[in-house]
Amino acid sequence: MNCSEPRLPALLSALLRELRRAGNASTGTGVGPGGDASLYILLIMIFYGCLAGGLILAYTRSRKLESKHDPYHLYIERDWGRG
């Protein structure tokens, strides 16, 4: 879809009007001056929370201690420990 088409801005503005009308009908109050900003901040916080969680999970998985029951370590203990 080409973003320079005249239908896209009309569609987006109609969607925004519908969302604002639905919000006014459900809450009884209009969208305040910071209504869109709070949604933006919430989305950014969710994004960075998921990013931080993913980085922490990746770091902890990469730093797992090697198991003493690993066959390689058992081989080293059994065959090289005799000397």
Determine the structural domain holding residue 57 and report its residue range: 33-82
Q: Which residue has the higher pLDDT, 28 or 5?
A: 5
Whether 45 is in a domain gets the answer: yes
**Is position 28 within any domain?**
no
Residue 9 reports pLDDT greater than 60: yes
pLDDT of residue 28: 52
Report residue 55 as tokens: 């980085």
Tokens 């009908």, residue? 25
Split into its structural domains, the chain has a count of 1
Tokens encoding 2: 């080409």
Domain membership of residue 60 (yes or no) is yes
Q: What is the DSSP letter of 29?
A: S
**pLDDT tens by residue, 17-75:** 988 888 776 665 555 566 788 889 999 999 999 999 999 998 888 777 666 667 776 77
11 found inside a domain: no
Q: Distances from the Cα of 16 to the Cαs of 7, 12, 20, 76, in angstroms?
A: 14, 6, 6, 67
Can you give the pLDDT at residue 66? Answer: 60
